[in-house]
């Protein structure tokens, strides 16, 4: 498996493009190439290799599911707990992730299939689920973004 390719997968929240190349994901979505992209990680241990989780929020981050946190360093991460998606993600330990649609538009399976290098479909198929909740963390505060 090539981490530089763009995969179309059913994530823990909705249908998404995942890759370890954030520029490719931004090109597909027609966004600025330097725009930050959320990263999915396979465990809390992997998360700690990227960011320092404020002590005040460690329990919240460990227990959260389908929740993205923006850390004081400005980077956003989601620890995946969904078994099916985790099985795929463990092969890479982490991947950049974005929804498989244009901003504000509904999921179009034909468009998504055209723009993905590799399609990973399991028995669930593809469905547009509820997006993850997003919170911004500071040392002692938390702010709901979505």
Predicted confidence at residue 108, as pLDDT, reads 84
Distance CA 55, CA 3 (A): 32
Phi/psi for 76 (5° steps) reads: -115, 140
Quick one: pLDDT at residue 91?
A: 93
Q: Tell me: the pLDDT tens digits for 12-22?
A: 888 899 999 99
Whether the per-residue pLDDT at 96 is higher than 80: the answer is yes
The tokens describing 66, both together, are 């389908």
**pTM of the predicted model as reported, rounded to 2 decimal places:** 0.89
Domain boundaries, the chain: 7-144
From residue 104, give the alpha-carbon distance in Å to each of 18, 22, 99, 108, 121: 19, 20, 10, 12, 24
Instruction: Check if CATH label 3.30.530.20 holds for domain 7-144.
Output: no
Q: What stretches of 22-63 show up as alpha helix (H) in DSSP?
A: 22-28, 44-50, 58-63
Confidence of residue 126 (pLDDT cuts 50, 70, 90): confident
Element at 119 (helix H, strand E):
strand 118-119
């Amino acid at each position: 498996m090539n981490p530089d390719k763009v995969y179309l997968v059913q994530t823990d929240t909705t249908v998404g493009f995942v890759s370890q190349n954030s520029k490719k994901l931004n090109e597909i979505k027609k966004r600025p190439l330097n725009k930050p992209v959320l990263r999915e990680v396979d465990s809390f241990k992997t998360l700690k290799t990227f960011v320092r989780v404020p002590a005040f929020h460690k329990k919240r981050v460990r227990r959260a599911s389908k929740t993205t946190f923006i850390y004081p360093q400005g980077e956003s991460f989601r620890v995946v707990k969904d078994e099916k998606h985790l099985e795929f993600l463990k092969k890479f330990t982490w991947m950049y992730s974005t929804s498989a649609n244009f901003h504000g538009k509904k999921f179009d399976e034909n468009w998504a299939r055209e723009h993905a290098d590799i399609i990973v479909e399991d028995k669930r198929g593809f469905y547009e689920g509820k997006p993850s909740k997003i919170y911004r963390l500071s040392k002692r505060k938390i702010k709901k973004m979505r």
